Amino acid sequence: MKTYLVTGAAGFIGANYIKYLLHRKYANEDIKVIILDALTYAGNLGTIKEDIDGKRCVFVKGDIRDRELVDRLFAENDIDYLVNFAAESHVDRSIEDPQLFLSVNILGTQNLLDAARRAWVTGKDEQGYPVWKTGKRYHQVSTDEVYGSLGTEGYFTEQTPLCPHSPYSASKTSADLFVMAYRDTYHMPVSITRCSNNYGPYHFPEKLIPLIINNILEGKKLPVYGEGLNVRDWLYVEDHCKAIDMVVREGREGEVYNVGGHNEMKNIDIVKLTIRTIHDMMEADKSLRNILKKQEKDSHGDIDISWINEHLITYVPDRLGHDARYAIDPTKIKNELGWYPETMFADGIVKTIRWNLEHQDWIREVTSGDYQKYYDRMY
């Protein structure tokens, strides 16, 4: 039996990951998943409540910076894999409060590394290096933002120099450097994945795609930073989860793997494509129109694309230090592990919109309270 400690699994990607492990990839295998999550504004127990059964999946509320708690989890469980998703993840919030990002993303990572070191080291070799229990792995979920920004040409490879620009990406880069320092100094069994922008179910609606979907449905403005020309490389979240699983189980120790599906798009194109897709879905299934506010319907009762384009798309001041373009070269993970993206964007965006239409209660739950204050301040 393999035991996972998965941090941050009440958030977007972590929740998709544990669902992938428990119900898809290892549905018929004996695995145990311990979730450690502080339930910040971005973490929602409702997202994973159906998965927590007290046997295959256990939830612990707590902070990755809490040394005593993390040590206790290692003492009480024979943990094989620690997969660290927990982080402050939103670039705009890091511009408002850099110190929180430093604290959670760097100190939190370092605390997890140390706890794993205390639990997994059995002695020293003749050169003084720690000897590690076999089959253990610390995996850091990182981001393409550590590489900084590209011009109109080229891709991020694993050899691209680290050059972060935002407080968020600086904190994720520092965390990666600590992971690599533990590899080099203690020969710790680690791996890192650096993925491009994810989208899909349970995506918190402060991020571009779910924000746009829900603002279209609510008839609110669609804020586009600057001229909308910045490029992001979008990957359906389950393809990211599959990549992490492959790297944790089969990836070479001490290695970094870039993850991305060659799906670069300008932000303004994402916004327009989302509007068009919602329109087409509502044409195909008229019952979906009920969710729209009155003023967005045309004379046939359909969503009115030109009204949305004219009245809702709103160019707002640019994000400070806004990276121009991200684009991942995934050759290494494809060649070494046979990973490839299974969901093309045209299908993924339909699935994502449908998920948002069918989970309006979830949206209402996560956007109430603190998030509403943030939204009002931002827009």
Total of chain residues touching ligand DAU, rule CB under 6 A: 19
- Binding ligand DAU (rule: CB under 6 A), the pick from 196, 277, 343, 356 is 196
5, 81 Cβ separation under 8 angstroms: yes
Q: Where are the alpha helices (DSSP H) in 77-234?
A: 91-96, 98-101, 108-120, 167-186, 208-218
Residue 242 CA to residue 239 CA, distance in Å, equals: 5
91-120 binders of ligand NAD (CB under 6 A): 104, 108
Q: Which stretch binds ligand DAU (CB under 6 A): 56-64, 142-150, 250-258, 279-287?
A: 142-150
Q: Select from ligand DAU, ligand NAD, none the partner in contact with residue 174, using the beta carbon and a kind-dependent cut-off of 5 to 8 Å.
A: none
138 is catalytic: no
Residue 11 CA to residue 240 CA, distance in Å, equals: 14
Pairing of strands 197-199, 231-236: parallel
Residue 137 CA to residue 116 CA, distance in Å, equals: 9
The token pair at 316 is 């707002």
Q: Select from ligand NAD, ligand DAU, none the partner in contact with residue 213, using the beta carbon and a kind-dependent cut-off of 5 to 8 Å.
A: none
Write the CA distances from 349 to 24, 30, 120, 189, 358, integer angstroms: 21, 33, 42, 36, 14
74-93 binders of ligand NAD (CB under 6 A): 85-89
Under rule CB under 6 A, residue 224 binds ligand DAU: yes
Under rule CB under 6 A, residue 14 binds ligand NAD: yes
B/e letters for 144-167, b = 16+ CB within 10 Å, e = fewer, are: bbbbbbbeeeebbeeebeeebbbb
What is the closest distance, in whole angstroms, from the C-beta atom of residue 141 to ligand DAU in the complex? 9
Q: Select from ligand NAD, ligand DAU, none the partner in contact with residue 230, using the beta carbon and a kind-dependent cut-off of 5 to 8 Å.
A: ligand DAU
As a whole number of Å, the end-to-end CA separation of the chain is: 48
239 is catalytic: no
Q: 276-284: long-range contacts at Cβ-Cβ below 8 A with a sequence spacing of 24 or more?
A: 276/305, 277/349, 277/350, 277/353, 278/213, 278/216, 278/217, 278/303, 278/353, 279/303, 279/305, 281/350, 281/353, 281/354
168 is catalytic: yes
Q: Select from ligand DAU, ligand NAD, none the partner in contact with residue 176, using the beta carbon and a kind-dependent cut-off of 5 to 8 Å.
A: none
160, 143 Cβ separation under 8 angstroms: no
Q: Select from ligand NAD, ligand DAU, none the partner in contact with residue 141, using the beta carbon and a kind-dependent cut-off of 5 to 8 Å.
A: ligand NAD
Under rule CB under 6 A, residue 197 binds ligand NAD: yes
Q: Which stretch binds ligand DAU (CB under 6 A): 24-32, 93-101, 116-124, 206-214?
A: 206-214
Q: Within 13 Å of residue 170, how many CA atoms lie on the same side as its CB?
A: 12
Q: Select from ligand NAD, ligand DAU, none the partner in contact with residue 319, using the beta carbon and a kind-dependent cut-off of 5 to 8 Å.
A: ligand DAU
What is the closest distance, in whole angstroms, from the C-beta atom of residue 81 to ligand NAD in the complex? 16
Under rule CB under 6 A, residue 37 binds ligand DAU: no
What is the closest distance, in whole angstroms, from the C-beta atom of residue 7 to ligand NAD in the complex? 6
- Interface residues with ligand DAU (CB under 6 A)? 89-91, 143-145, 196-197, 207-208, 211, 223-225, 230, 232, 267, 319, 326
- Interface residues with ligand NAD (CB under 6 A)? 7-8, 10-14, 37-40, 42-43, 63-65, 85-89, 104, 108, 141, 143, 172, 195, 197-198, 204
Residues labelled as active-site residues: 144-145, 168
